[in-house]
Amino acid sequence: MNKELVKKIFLPLIVFILILQVWVGIASFVKDFPTPATTYVAAFGGINVDGDEISGVLSDPFYVNNQDDKGLFWQIIESLKRVFAGFVLAIIVGVPVGLLVGMSKNAQYALNPFIQIFKPVSPLAWLPLLLFIFQDINMTAISTIFITSIWPIIINTALGVKSVNEDYMNVAKVLRFTPLEKIIQIILPVSVPYIFTGMRLSLGIAWLVIVAAEMLTGGIGIGFWIWDEYNNLNYDNIIIGIIIVGLIGFILDVLMGRIADYFDYTKKGRA
Amino acid sequence: MSKKFLSLEKVEKRFPISANEDYVAVTDVNLEIRENEIIAIIGHSGCGKSTLLNMISGLDAQTSGAIVLENKHIDGPGPDRAVVFQNHSLLPWLSVYQNIEMAVKKVMPELSASELRERVERYVSMVNLDHAKDKLPDEISGGMKQRVGIARALSITPKVLLMDEPFGALDSLTRANLQEHLMRIQQKVKNTVVIITHDIDEAVLLSDRVIMMTNGPDATIGEILEVNLQRPRNRVELQSDPEYIRCREAILSFLYEKFAKDDE
């Protein structure tokens, strides 16, 4: 094994042990706080502190008891569905708006103040308003994600359009490209890496926001599940939830990065 | 040879610098360019030679005066005046072949798939790039990129080929090589060419007439020099040719005695 690889495995392992120590420390101070051992049992099943044999939340994540009682897998799927619905809507609206802002000075002047004002608003501030409009948990969550995701997509798409070299546009002018040909043949190929950067940012924030949004809306979803476990005094499960949310966020980011690289002409040889 | 082809009449270009003041880049430019003629425009930097070329290409509009190509006023860019840009301007996500194909496809939409391929391949061959036709611009040398730029410009059979310091960014050996390419191709296709340069040897070697620009602001045509050298021209033999030496000296004296530039 080479030295780098050894370091890459052992250094995180040391940090992991430190984290466990801190965790055990906190558990010894805070009454009823789960320890690593009880959390493991809560996750994968075993004998709990009361000496009872229990099954963990990860032993059967696929169960469905009734509409309101489903396994962890279904909670996660529900959250992912909302994130993707809102995210895809944000792409459908955000990319054309970004192209417009990037290509037209007038559109930039008209829209930029509002983009700058709405961008820093926490999407959760919209949530009560959206809940009032839709009176529906799913629609509220999806539209919250939409508002979350759209700003980075608009801003990065516009940035991509602005990065188009003027020489390329001169080539397009000499060949008398129509506006649509300019977009498809020149602006999009240049902007695609920027658009994907925006999408990657958006997806990351959307996954952050969905947990909080579901805590507020209730019903189903990983965010609601975590809040529900708090209400049920199952503190072990909150920690399990945090780890799962982190892992899924990480996977989403890696996937998005792979897709972005695939569409980035600067990162592939076309033999 | 003396038919009216491309003419510039009292062409002027101003850039506003404040509410009531303009910077006059070029003024009172009058020039008749004959069909199949190769014109070199030479001058110090800031003499407005690129501005002049941009006005012929239509990428930049003149403030006053007229530019007429075959009895039609030029208002805006078009494929009848192809441009070879100094920095080649190839689209980096398209291969050599695709860069040329994109231009031919747009300008000649009536071509069938096989005619299109035949035409693109002919122009790839014309600049001897058959071996590199599937390479991306980033994978080939600067000289090769510029050859693709020339092939792309010629592939749409423009009436005029406009070249804005096309070899300025290349080392001198590569530049000589490209000049040979250009002269060889020109013997075949006999285009009208307007080439901007700041290289005296290049101007004499390539052109039938050299347009010498005075310094800006208010730059205009200072002198026009006829280069009476037979084609094909050989750069080595030219070095001792009295006509070549006369032309070189005329340009040298114009640029460094009459219109010397002491700043920079």
Give residue for tokens 């000289």. B143
Tell me what the mean pLDDT of segment A11-21 comes to.
95
pLDDT tens per residue, range A209-229 = 999 999 998 888 999 999 999
Three-state SS at A219: coil
Nearest to A236 by CA among A47, A25, A56: A56
pLDDT tens per residue, range A170-199 = 999 999 999 999 999 999 999 999 999 999
Query: Is B172 among the domain residues?
Result: no
Residue A113 domain boundaries = 64-267
A71 and A48 share one domain = no
A167 and A239 share one domain = yes
Return the sign of the alpha-carbon dihedral for residues A248, A254, A257, A261: negative
What is the tally of structural domains in chain A? 2
Query: Is A59 among the domain residues?
Result: no
Query: Is B5 among the domain residues?
Result: no
A241 and A162 share one domain = yes
Q: Which residues of A touch B (CB under 8 A)?
A: 165, 167-168, 170-171, 173-177, 181, 185-186, 189, 265-266, 269-271
Residue B115 domain boundaries = 81-157
A165 and A93 share one domain = yes
CA distance B53 to A190: 27
CB contact at 8 A, B30 and B224: no
A140 and A72 share one domain = yes
Query: Which helix (H) or strand (E) is A199 found in, with range?
Result: helix A188-217
Query: Is B209 among the domain residues?
Result: no
A76 and A18 share one domain = no
pLDDT tens per residue, range B33-92 = 999 999 999 998 878 888 999 999 999 999 999 999 998 999 899 999 999 988 888 999
Query: Which helix (H) or strand (E) is B27 found in, with range?
Result: strand B21-34
**What is the predicted pLDDT for the residue at A271?**
34
Cβ neighbours of residue B73 closer than 8 Å, sequence gap 6 or more = B66, B67
What is the bridge-based pairing of β-strands B64-69 and B4-18?
antiparallel
pLDDT at A265 over 60: yes
Query: Is B230 among the domain residues?
Result: no
Three-state SS at B141: coil
pLDDT band at B210; cut points 50, 70, 90: very high
Return the sign of the alpha-carbon dihedral for residues A248, A252, A258, A261: negative
Query: Is B130 among the domain residues?
Result: yes
**What is the predicted pLDDT for the residue at B263?**
59
Residue of B55, B93, B98, B165 to mutate, interface with A, max A Cβ within 10 Å: B93
Query: Is A253 among the domain residues?
Result: yes
Query: Is B100 among the domain residues?
Result: yes
pLDDT tens per residue, range A125-164 = 999 999 999 999 999 999 999 999 999 999 999 999 999 9
Nearest to A101 by CA among A151, A172, A170, A167: A151
Nearest to A144 by CA among A129, A120, A126: A126
Query: Is B215 among the domain residues?
Result: no
Name the H helices within B23-112: 49-57, 96-107
pLDDT at A267 over 80: no
Four-CA torsion B157, B163, B168, B170, nearest 10 degrees? 0
**What is the predicted pLDDT for the residue at A61?**
82
A45 and A69 share one domain = no
Q: What single string gives the DSSP state of each residue in B159-173?
A: SEEEEESTTTTS-HH
Residue of A175, A187, A191, A263 to mutate, interface with B, max B Cβ within 10 Å: A175
What is the tally of structural domains in chain B? 1
Q: Residue A114: give its domain's CATH number.
A: 1.10.3720.10
User: Closest-CA residue in chain A for B161?
Assistant: A174
A76 and A31 share one domain = no
**What is the predicted pLDDT for the residue at B205?**
93
A42 and A142 share one domain = no
A40 and A70 share one domain = no
Token pair for A16: 């992991």
Query: Is A200 among the domain residues?
Result: yes
Q: Report the percent of chain A where pLDDT is more than 70.
A: 98
- Which B positions 75-94 lie with beta carbon below 8 A of chain A? 76-79, 81-83, 85, 87, 89, 91-93
A69 and A45 share one domain = no
A9 and A125 share one domain = no
Burial zone of A183 (CB within 10 Å; 0-12 exposed, 13-18 middle, 19+ buried): middle
Paired with B64 in beta bridges are B12
pLDDT at B150 over 60: yes
